[in-house]
Structure 1
Amino acid sequence: MTEKQVYIVDDDEAIRRSLNFMLRTSGYKVEQFTCGEEFLKAATKLSPGCVLLDIRMPGLDGLEVQQAMAREGVTLPVVIMTGHGDVNLAVRAMKAGAIDFIEKPFEKATLMSALDQGFARLGEDDVRKLRAQEAATRLEVLTPRERDVLRGLVEGLPNKTIAYDLGISPRTVEIHRANLMTKLNVKSLSEALRIAFTAGLGVVEA
């Protein structure tokens, strides 16, 4: 079993040292950051893992780091660490996408439970990405025109409308439709659409 990666983002050296020891002795890989800015510089290049993010730090606070992560497309699961009296901030962080928050000082079991939630979320994201990649690979066998027809079907358009939009005959649309289903090795339109939706066709490209 590979070690799970945890990123600690906290300006308090004592907290970082304590967390580092607790996590490493529990079998986790740990990387530490002393502030939100330092973490964000590296965030887009980090391997999958969970982020333990302090809510109150000099410079960017935890909420601002979350906002920056969202802007930059960083989807690492975040567990917020709060001090006493920061529960309202923690609730705001949860609404912004954090999976859990833990209040300092916290028990080891509380930390492990929060991280378990994070890695479960990470696992779901990995599965979704893998399925999307597999679906996109299947679509690569289609010609550009067959993709155009499939995109029209994803949008729920009838053959005649697709034909009009593409400047071809309805009969040609039917031929492309039959060909793409053969290439995708599916027996029904719903199966073809499921592959298209999984790959993001008509969403990313719309």
Structure 2
Amino acid sequence: MTALDNPNSDLFDPNASSQEDAGPEPVVYLVDDQQAELDLLQRWCSQEGLKTETFNQAEDLLKLLHADSHGCVVADLRMPRLSGLELQAEMSRRELTIPVILVTGHGDAENCRAAFQQGVFDFIEKGFRHEEILHAINSAIRKHRRDRFRHQVRKEALDLLRKISPRETEVMLLLAGGSPLKGIAQELSISVQTASKHRGSIFTKLNIDNEVDLYKMLLAAEVNLDVGPAALIPPAP
């Protein structure tokens, strides 16, 4: 069963339980060259029921992470070889979307600004309470679940939309815009019967029942309805 099997489900509510519960068990990847810091964070995470993996250097984490890694990374900003910022940059280069939380004993505005500009999820100074870091970790995990869910929904929607012919795409855009069959027929210089056949074919290919479901699917696919039929659906990667 796919995320689009029930077109009436709420695919866009960030608090929806289907999103919160989706995916494998998350892992908190802890990276710090100070073993005492790692042990403390691992103990706090374990008390929260979170699965962890620990690393003394970022290079070892990069050997393990892959596109399907789920959870979040908590890394020290300053490490002897690869810093936390350099780790984030390398993860971005590899298109690894798992959120990164940077912790540092040397917080300053410049590093904080650079971290957020680079896409770091959170930036926390050491000396934090365990409630603060656990809140950040749980927030990062929830965000990653939502992002993964939306990515999967978009992929499934685009896969279905790529089955639509160019003429059906024209009809589909007019349907999504609220045009009746008669209006579509006039706009495209076709008969009402032909417009109706195109609508039926679109609904069959997309496994939907009505225009509301069609609009939901276009929202899920995150397509730009203003670009016109030819550029509406991006090609498959």
Q: 1:82 touches 1:90 (CA, 8 Å); kept in 2?
A: no
Query: Residue 67 of structure 1 corresponds to which residue in structure 2?
Result: 89
Give per-residue Cα distances to partners, 1:82-137, cap 9 Å, x unaligned.
Answer: 11344431232122222212111221111112112212212321331342254346
2:159 corresponds to 1:129: no
2:149 corresponds to 1:119: no
TM-score, with length taken from structure 1: 0.73
> Which structure is higher in RCO with an 8 Å CA cutoff and minimum separation 6?
2
Deviation at 1:204, TM superposition (A): 4.2
Number of equivalenced pairs = 189
Q: Provide the alpha-carbon RMSD of the alignment.
A: 3.3
TM-score, with length taken from structure 2: 0.65
Could you tell me which amino acid in structure 2 is paired with residue 61 of structure 1?
A: S
2:39 corresponds to 1:9: no
2:222 corresponds to 1:192: no
Report the CA distance shift for 1:3/1:187 in structure 2 as closer, same or farther (over 3 A).
closer
Deviation at 1:139, TM superposition (A): 4.3
Report the CA distance shift for 1:152/1:54 in structure 2 as closer, same or farther (over 3 A).
farther
Query: Residue 105 of structure 1 corresponds to which residue in structure 2?
Result: 127
Query: Residue 163 of structure 1 corresponds to which residue in structure 2?
Result: none
Could you tell me which amino acid in structure 2 is paired with residue 53 of structure 1?
A: A
Structure 2: runs of 5 or more not aligned: 1-20, 175-187, 224-231
Q: How does 1:112-191 map to 2 (within 5 A)?
A: 112-136=134-158, 138-139=160-161, 142=163, 146-149=164-167, 171=190, 174=195, 177-178=198-199, 179-184=201-206, 185-188=208-211, 191=213
Report the CA distance shift for 1:170/1:51 in structure 2 as closer, same or farther (over 3 A).
farther
Query: Residue 205 of structure 1 corresponds to which residue in structure 2?
Result: 235
Q: Work out the CA distance in 1 between the residues paired with 2:197 and 2:55.
A: 53
Q: Work out the CA distance in 1 between the residues paired with 2:80 and 2:234.
A: 37
% same residue: 30
Deviation at 1:205, TM superposition (A): 1.8
Deviation at 1:12, TM superposition (A): 1.6
Report the CA distance shift for 1:191/1:25 in structure 2 as closer, same or farther (over 3 A).
closer
Q: 1:99 touches 1:117 (CA, 8 Å); kept in 2?
A: no
2:76 corresponds to 1:54: yes
Q: Work out the CA distance in 2 between the residues paired with 1:100 and 1:192.
A: 37
Report the CA distance shift for 1:181/1:154 in structure 2 as closer, same or farther (over 3 A).
closer
Report the CA distance shift for 1:195/1:85 in structure 2 as closer, same or farther (over 3 A).
closer
Q: Which runs of 4+ in 1 moved over 3 A?
A: 1-4, 136-140, 147-156, 169-177, 199-204
1:51 aligned counterpart, secondary structure: strand
Structure 1: runs of 5 or more not aligned: 157-168
Deviation at 1:151, TM superposition (A): 5.3
